[in-house]
Structure 1
């Protein structure tokens, strides 16, 4: 193990970080068109590195980031969407079983898992909408992917991160008057803290931003504008994934050469150094770039 690698199982729990949370292990997208979405991920620098043993699921990776593309059709579940949708996020913790039991005691709703032969049972709870939140503690030399996935031959299992990209956070759309409920959810279960109202990242300052106790993950909650949604109830879901990078303009230029299109903000030129938003297309949903916090 190198000196720069920190195994979450060796991290000591702290009252402010009771789960010994260490960021995101993987993000999962569900789609009926995995090859199309895969093209979108490859333009961002991800590479398919492994296939699931028994399901139509692919693992994409670059650097320390893992994205699972789930195209497995379950007859008991609604049909998969054509455009890839965020379905789950897995949190790195010191002890997955202990973390799962703790959040259940605090009121989280556990999810039953159906495990096939040669598969791991990864504990999970209900997230926003139909999404799931997993707890993973196998993040070192022997990981969950060594059990559930078969490596793709001749492919580099650890492709370098383009421009130093890493997982930064998630944007969640919430219903009207639900801000306090969701802030309490992430604070009480995981130890997230609300940032000051004037403390934002990137070019989209709306909503409330929560910071994880480990300082490696941010969760942005966005309410609808008063006249934006005719439905008073409003849908709630994970809207997009954000990546951090040291130099946003340089990364935008590199991704642009790879075929990634970006929305042009109608803001000051300075915003271009703070963040950028890709344009959603037939290949996949939007992603966000954020300048690495200092």
Structure 2
């Protein structure tokens, strides 16, 4: 296809490299990830940080005391950073800075990797990472705990689909423009939905490699709930949602099943598995028709 506005990819994004959680209860969060099929494969060489992997998906659990001390208001586990896999990290970073992104100072110590990052929603960070055939970013900072760090996927076709992002009232347009300008995301038509939850505005990343759902507070949340702009939830795509639910339920993964949310062929929502952390399953079969199918 030609390089139209629909296909624009100014930062050269190839997908999600890793998702990082800040956690004051890293063992509990780690157990939740293992029930989802992730395997702990490496520990950071100088900090309380652990790497979990399933297939090509990487999740980092950060319980570093110095990092947590910077966010005393965060009591539950929270998505703190997203790393986007890009073709050229330096070029992607320069583009984002030229487009007005806020640079994030790195905290790399001696013998640690310096990864470029920009400010995201709330206090989050968007890292820009490039892959090289003979080099992994994890090789620098982590010691592997297993001889073969590659791990199989528990549920066939499971992959990173995207993230849900809470935004303040009236701020959807701001964040939609932010992601369009920096990353080439585009707003999908009103009424486009993935999974089972109807709220929010859906953004499609370049090539459908990831999606964002921007959700403003509504109903009682406008008045009764403390609402912070933040990444709220990680979503996994899977070709067969009922099969995935069956497989994960057998591993003691609890799913919402009530009048507001229950598993169906379009998607499913886990119940809280670790201090306000839950996950979403979305019907998505990249091999069939590109990453994600709307309904």
Q: TM-score, normalised by structure 1?
A: 0.89
Q: How many angstroms apart in 2 are the aligned matches of 1:81 and 1:159?
A: 31
CA distances 1:239-276 after superposition (whole Å, capped 9, x unpaired): 0000001100000000000010000153798x600000
**2:135 is equivalent to residue 142 of structure 1:** yes
CA distances 1:125-184 after superposition (whole Å, capped 9, x unpaired): 111011100000025441100111111044x41111121211000000000011110110
Name the CA shift for 1:186/1:177 in 2 (closer, same or farther; >3 Å).
Answer: same
C-alpha contact (below 8 Å) 2:221/2:227 kept by paired residues: no
Q: TM-score, normalised by structure 2?
A: 0.89
- Number of matched residues? 280
Q: How many angstroms apart in 1 are the aligned matches of 2:132 and 2:216?
A: 34
Q: What is residue 178 of structure 2 aligned with on the other side?
A: 185
Q: CA deviation at 1:283?
A: 5.9
Q: What is residue 123 of structure 1 aligned with on the other side?
A: 116
Q: Which runs of 5+ in 1 are unaligned?
A: 1-12
Secondary structure of 2:246's partner? Answer: helix
CA distances 1:13-46 after superposition (whole Å, capped 9, x unpaired): 9871111111100000000111111000000000
Instruction: Choose the corresponding residue for 1:30, options 22, 26, 30.
Output: 22
C-alpha contact (below 8 Å) 1:86/1:239 kept by paired residues: yes
Secondary structure of 1:24's partner? Answer: strand
Instruction: Choose the corresponding residue for 1:162, options 132, 137, 154.
Output: 154
Secondary structure of 1:219's partner? Answer: strand
Q: How many angstroms apart in 1 are the aligned matches of 2:210 and 2:171?
A: 21
Instruction: Choose the corresponding residue for 2:211, options 218, 231, 253.
Output: 218
CA distances 1:198-256 after superposition (whole Å, capped 9, x unpaired): 21100002110000012110000001105423279942111000000110000000000
Q: CA deviation at 1:82?
A: 5.0
**The 10-residue stretch of structure 1 (91-100 or 69-78) with the greater mean CA deviation from structure 2:** 69-78
Name the CA shift for 1:227/1:259 in 2 (closer, same or farther; >3 Å).
Answer: closer
Q: What is residue 272 of structure 1 aligned with on the other side?
A: 264
C-alpha contact (below 8 Å) 1:31/1:80 kept by paired residues: no
Instruction: Choose the corresponding residue for 1:229, options 214, 219, 222.
Output: 222
Q: How many angstroms apart in 1 are the aligned matches of 2:171 and 2:64?
A: 32
Name the CA shift for 1:268/1:66 in 2 (closer, same or farther; >3 Å).
Answer: closer
Q: How many angstroms apart in 2 are the aligned matches of 1:77 and 1:27?
A: 19
Q: What is residue 74 of structure 1 aligned with on the other side?
A: 66
Q: What is residue 49 of structure 2 aligned with on the other side?
A: 57
C-alpha contact (below 8 Å) 1:73/1:80 kept by paired residues: no
Secondary structure of 2:152's partner? Answer: coil
CA distances 1:64-103 after superposition (whole Å, capped 9, x unpaired): 1000000001175133845321000000111111111111
**2:280 is equivalent to residue 288 of structure 1:** yes
**The 10-residue stretch of structure 1 (278-287 or 173-182) with the greater mean CA deviation from structure 2:** 278-287
Secondary structure of 1:66's partner? Answer: strand
C-alpha contact (below 8 Å) 1:25/1:90 kept by paired residues: yes
Q: How many angstroms apart in 1 are the aligned matches of 2:91 and 2:125?
A: 18
C-alpha contact (below 8 Å) 1:115/1:121 kept by paired residues: yes
